[in-house]
Amino acid sequence: MNFWVIQGLNGLAFGSLLFILAAGFSLIFGLMRVANLAHGAFFMLGAYVGLSAIDNGMNFWVAILIGGLTVCVLGGVMEGLILRRLAGQPLAQVLVTLGIAFIIADGCLWLWSGDPRPLPMPSELQGVLRFGGLIFPKYRLFVVVVAVCLAGALWLLLERSRVGAMIRAGVDDMEMARVMGIRTSLLFPLVFCLGSALAGAGGVLAGPILSVYPSMDTDMLPMALVVVILGGVGSLGGAFVGALVIGFIYSYGQALVPDLAYVILFLPMVLVLTIRPTGLFGRRLV
Amino acid sequence: MTARSGVWLVVMVVALVLVPVLIGSPFYVNLASQVLIYAILAMSLNLLVGFGGLTSLGHAAYLGFAAYVTIYLTTLAGFGQFSGALIALVATTGLAMLFGFLALRASGLGFLMITLALGQILWGLAFRWVSLTGGDNGLGGMQRPHPFGIDLGDPNAFYYFALCFFLVAFAGIALFVRSPFGHSLRGSRDQPRRMRALGYNVWFVQWCGFVYAGFWGAIAGILYAYYNQFVSPHALNLMTSAETLLMVIAGGAGTLFGPIVGAVLVVVLKNVVSAYIARWVMLLGAVFVMIVLFMPEGLVPGTTRWTKLALGRRRRAAGGGPGEATGTAAVQERSS
């Protein structure tokens, strides 16, 4: 019994990290039709920048801010300088993001060397909580709370604000939105920066759980893809459900069949593609 | 095939046969063998990317899977060289059938994301299923086969062995592309709706192209296993898939010679650069960005167009009308 609850909570924590990662990817992909393959590299870069911030004596919360902002600026520059030039060529855009992913990954290896490094967690979140006979680390619960708050905030932004209405209009029908006078050229950098910032801050947040290591980007990117394919493109709810499903499967799989844990992660994707190629909550074929 | 590309073909074959004689040094002959193996892989990916309009980021799956199966069967499971290779070929083609079924549920970027994820599954299996695959250490200890009593341990012998497969692959792919079926594959790329209206089963056409590409990927994988006598998860990772895609795009997707030029470029660049600096991955990324921004059609169509334009200009200067016609025709061909 304890085993199932503890692993369930671990799955919830991992799923929360995946949601933070996948929400940014899904937001960008949904609006701009850009599959940002540098998203995993953004996540890793955020984690490394956060690590350096902590090494230089800043506290964890400032590190999250710095990690998020750095990647946000980088994403904005990439969108403005490169992706915009390739507007309307989705394939060229995706290849450019892949090239940038390699540049960032190799740059991180260069700057921070190849050793995995743990990212220290803030002192106020160290230790464990006890309910009855259960012991659970505080930090993982904190990550779950962050993800739930983030989901709420994004929901408010997308469903209850004017900007959100514009973004949704752009996701649904870009041309019609333009005709109605929505300046999608202003929305693009905004959404791209927001999605990148989520990746960067998410990386710092993941640091204490996953630690920071060189192949973090190629470990996390496929997971973001799987979550998005599973949940449906551009759907926030889909990303949330998809991330939780993957989080649970990973956590139980890791404990029950460690050799195959990584592989069974992809089974739900295979299943969904076979039965419902639009994803659980998607309306359009990816 | 026009007369001019026929001439190029003869030149290419003669040059390839003469390579070991011309360069002599075993290091460079081995490098040439590598180029041939990757050229087969790039040509097979080109079937999807160039002729099928399906950009796959998981093509290393077939290279690595075939290599793993070959080495596992011949070293650990006790199969003979020929039966091991044959089973690897059949198994990898079967894998392509399955992956094709899944990946073709989507098109465009969805296809790309699914192939990437599927490729990553295999990488995960190879990396983490240590009892079967040896994990990060990989599988080794394989001997090169001795077909007809020839020792393939010799660099020149292996080069000619790989060259035979390369030429068969080139012919097989060229004939496929020029066959009616190849035309229907291109039709499915350019006008899927019209093809459907004409009664073609677009899904099936693309699936067949996918499986055929997987088949040649498997051939490249078996040769890879023979060449390295070792395989590790590296053969399956995203880097390898991306390098292969770069070969296709840098050389020119949708042309017969493009992927070969791309394979020469990437393999030589990788080996030369790795000898001097440790930042090959960063350079690969930069080359990717540069190619997409400045030469999106690839080297072969790019230079062909420039030569045609230059020739056209010269002919026009000599007072001919047809020169101009060929020049503009070339441009129109590209833009259509």
Supply angle C-alpha B246, B250, B255, rounded to 5: 110
In angstroms, the Cα distances linking B36 to A232, A268, B213 are: 41, 38, 16
Cα distance between residue B43 and residue B219, in whole Å: 12
Indicate the range of A86-95, A273-282, B323-332 predicted with least confidence.
B323-332
Mean pLDDT (chain A) is 88
CA end-to-end distance (rounded Å), chain A: 39
**Taking residues A127-131, what's their average pLDDT?**
80
Tokens encoding A145: 């709370």
Reported as a pLDDT band with limits 50, 70 and 90, residue B251 is confident
Compare CB distances from B288 to A85, A98, A273 and report the shortest one's residue. Answer: A98
Tell me what pLDDT residue A1 has: 67
Longest dimension (CA), chain A: 60
Mean pLDDT of the A53-81 span: 93
What percentage of chain A exceeds 70 in pLDDT?
A: 98
Q: Which of A25, A249, A273 to mutate to test the interface with B (most CBs of B within 10 A)?
A: A273
Closest Cα in chain A, distance from residue B62 (Å): 17
Q: What is the pLDDT of residues B107-146, one digit of tens each?
A: 778 888 889 888 988 888 888 887 888 878 888 878 777 7
Identify the sign of the CA torsion B206, B212, B214, B217: negative
**Closest Cα of chain B to A97: distance in Å?**
8
Nearest by Cα to B109 from A179, A93, A239: A93
Q: Which of B110, B128, B286 sits opposite A285 (nearest CB)?
A: B110
CB of B239 closer than 8 Å to CB of B7: no
Mean pLDDT over B240-256 rounds to 88
pLDDT, mean of residues A272-286: 71
Least confident of A153-167, A192-206, B12-26, B315-329: B315-329
Q: Contact A213/A143 with Cβ under 8 angstroms?
A: no
Domain extent listing, chain B: 27-296, 298-336
- In chain A, which residue's Cα lies nearest the Cα of B125? A263
Alpha-carbon distance of B249 to B265, in angstroms, equals: 11
d(CA B326, CA B305): 10
Given a cut of 50, whether residue B210 has pLDDT beyond it is yes
Q: How many Cβ pairs within 8 Å bridge chains A and B?
A: 126
Question: Considering only CB atoms, which chain B residues are within 8 Å of A106?
Answer: 279, 281-282, 285
Architecture of domain B27-296: Orthogonal Bundle (1.10)
Share above pLDDT 70 across residues of chain B, in percent, rounded to a whole number: 92
Looking at residue B216, its pLDDT comes to 95
Mean pLDDT within B189-206: 89
Q: Closest Cα partner for A239 from A229, A250, A252, A253? A: A229
Contacts of residue B78, defined as CB under 8 A and 6 or more positions apart, other chains included, come to: none
pLDDT at A45 over 70: yes
* Sign of the alpha-carbon torsion through A87, A89, A94, A97: negative
pLDDT top residue among B264 and B311: B264
What is the pLDDT confidence band of residue A133, given thresholds at 50, 70 and 90?
Answer: confident
- How deeply is A225 buried, as exposed, middle or buried, from its count of CB atoms within 10 A (0-12, 13-18, 19+)? buried
- The pLDDT of residue B321 is above 80: no
Q: Is the pLDDT of residue A232 over 50?
A: yes
Which residue(s) pair with A212 in the sheet? A117
Q: Output A20 or A264, whichever has higher pLDDT.
A: A20
Instruction: Compute the distance between CA of residue B311 and CA of residue B324 in angstroms, rounded to an integer.
Output: 9
User: What number of helices (H) and strands (E) belong to chain B?
Assistant: 15, 0
Residue A234 backbone dihedrals phi, psi, to 5 degrees: 75, 5
Report the residue of chain A nearest B99, measured CA to CA. A270
Local confidence band at A198 (pLDDT 50, 70, 90 cut-offs): very high
Residue A128: beta bridge partners? A137
pLDDT at residue A97 tops 50: yes
Residue B181: pLDDT over 50: yes
**Report for A166-180, A214-228, B201-215: range of highest mean pLDDT:** B201-215
Residue indicated by tokens 């393999």: B267
Residue A255 has pLDDT above 60, yes or no: yes
Instruction: Report the chain B residue with the minimal C-alpha distance to residue A264.
Output: B121
Q: Is the pLDDT of residue A283 over 70?
A: no
pLDDT at B317 > cutoff 70 = no
Q: For the segment A46-61, what is each residue's pLDDT rounded down to a tens digit? A: 999 999 999 998 899 9
Quickly state the pLDDT bin for B315 (edges 50, 70, 90).
Answer: low
H or E segment at B335?
A: helix B322-335
Q: CB-CB: which of B106, B238, B286 is closest to A99?
A: B286
Q: For an interface test with A, which of B243, B246, B289, B335 has the most A Cβ atoms less than 10 Å from its Cβ?
A: B289
Average pLDDT over residues B24-53: 90
- pLDDT given for residue A18 in this prediction: 94
Interchain proximity A103–B286, CB inside 8 Å? yes
Region A251-267 average pLDDT: 83
How far away is chain B from the Cα of A247, in angstroms, using its nearest Cα?
A: 16
Residue B326's DSSP bridge partners are none
Q: What is the pLDDT, as a whole number, of residue B133? A: 83
